[in-house]
Every structure is written in structure tokens, then in C-alpha cells.
A and B are shown apart, each in its own frame.
Chain A
Amino acid sequence: GAGVSQTPSNKVTEKGKYVELRCDPISGHTALYWYRQSLGQGPEFLIYFQGTGAADDSGLPNDRFFAVRPEGSVSTLKIQRTERGDSAVYLCASSLMQGAYNEQFFGPGTRLTVL
């Protein structure tokens, strides 16, 4: 079946611009996670949704980052006033059951480059 999809696959923007990254989780998965991965490092947690609500946003680095999941399915990660340090691969994952240690299914990621 269809896995987690993310769009766009690549995004190049200029410093100070606004970007939106989209995640389509596996149908029926109630838990959705966003991670950020810098070159040569493991993914770092950003935010977790259970249904429509952000159950844990402790990983968001600052208030320029925001994410929504209005209908409990598709999620959008929004970054305002982008900075060069925001350049990374943004990964989305979903799981059938709540709990980080249930198997998470990851999308291919969106590679964000801020010039």
C-alpha cells in the first residue's frame, strides 16, 4: 500500500522567506511525527500529533516553526523567516498506535536549502 509521502522533495528558498512542507501519512495512522536531519547526523524530533492536536511540540527550535494537522490526516510544517541554519532534510513519520516505540513509518523527506 501507499507509504508516507512528502512534498516537495526539494525546496530551495532565500533567507527570510516563508516555506510550507507537506506530509501525507499512511491512511488510518493517528500518530504523526516531524523530524529534522542535518548532514551526517541522526533525525531530531520536532513535533508529534495524536489526531488533530499537537501532543508534544517540545522539539521545535523556536517560534518560527509551526505545524498543523487540521483534519487528523495531512500535516503541514511551516517555517517563517527562514535562516540558513534551517537547511536540512525534514522527515515525517506516522504510526498506527500512539507511542514513539511503536513502529514508525517514515517518508522520504523534504530537503530544504536556504540560500
Chain B
Amino acid sequence: LAKTTHPISMDSYEGQEVNITCSHNNIATNDYITWYQQFPSQGPRFIIQGYKTKVTNEVASLFIPADRKSSTLSLPRVSLSDTAVYYCLVGDDSNAGNMLTFGGGTRLMVKP
């Protein structure tokens, strides 16, 4: 599985755009890039998944450069309720087997 590296923690303020970058230098051809969000005392929640270029949904955007060795999760105009841990996962079912491998995540703290 491709190893991912990312910031351990980030601080932001309400209304700002937050970008969390994840590095995955050994990403394989078939790998997808998936982000989950986890609020305190809750299970993780799927946010977004992409393979290349840009993906956007109602929650976030995911930017993936041509070499796919990194990806950036972009959260527009964050609010206090976006305080959570964000996990970047890279893999696909052919090499991941039947499991998601979470790292430590990036702890985002949004301040008023």
C-alpha cells in the first residue's frame, strides 16, 4: 500500500478556506485517493474520492496533480463544526484486500 504523509494538525479560523495536503509518492496506477472525516465521539465519514484532476462535491474539493504523488483536500469557508480529524487513504481493492488502512490523520481545529 502507498504510504501517506500529512500534517499532524492544523489551525484555522471560521470563514477561511482550508487546504490539507497529503503526500503519497508511491501511489500505484490503480489506486484511488479517498478522504474520511471524523468528528469527536463519532465514526469516520466518507467525504470525497478521486483518481486524477479535480473532484468537487457539496462538502469539499479534491485536487490531484498529474503525477498523483500528492492530493489536496480543500474545505471552503470552514465553520466551527468542521473541527475534526481528516484521513487521507490511498489504495484500491486489488492491493488493499478488504480493509481500509487509516493513518493518524490531520487534526483540524477551527477557531472563532
Q: Do these two chains interact? A: yes
With an 8 A cutoff between CB atoms, is A72 at the interface?
no
Q: Which range holds the interface residue count of chain B?
A: 20 to 34
Q: A91-B43, A108-B41, A108-B43 are in contact. Are A101 and B101 (CB under 8 A)?
A: no
A window 77-115: CB within 8 A of B: 91-93, 98-101, 103-109
Q: A99-B93, A101-B49 are in contact. Are A107 and B43 (CB under 8 A)?
A: yes
Collect the chain B residues with CB atoms within 8 Å of residue A45's CB. Answer: 99-101
Collect the chain A residues with CB atoms within 8 Å of residue B103's CB. Answer: 42
With an 8 A cutoff between CB atoms, is A44 at the interface?
yes
Chain B residues near A (Cβ < 8 Å)? 32, 34, 41-46, 49, 85, 87, 89, 91-93, 96-105
20 contacts between A and B (CB under 8 A): A4-B43, A40-B104, A41-B104, A42-B85, A42-B102, A48-B99, A55-B98, A56-B97, A58-B97, A91-B43, A98-B93, A100-B91, A100-B96, A100-B99, A101-B34, A101-B93, A104-B46, A104-B100, A106-B43, A108-B43
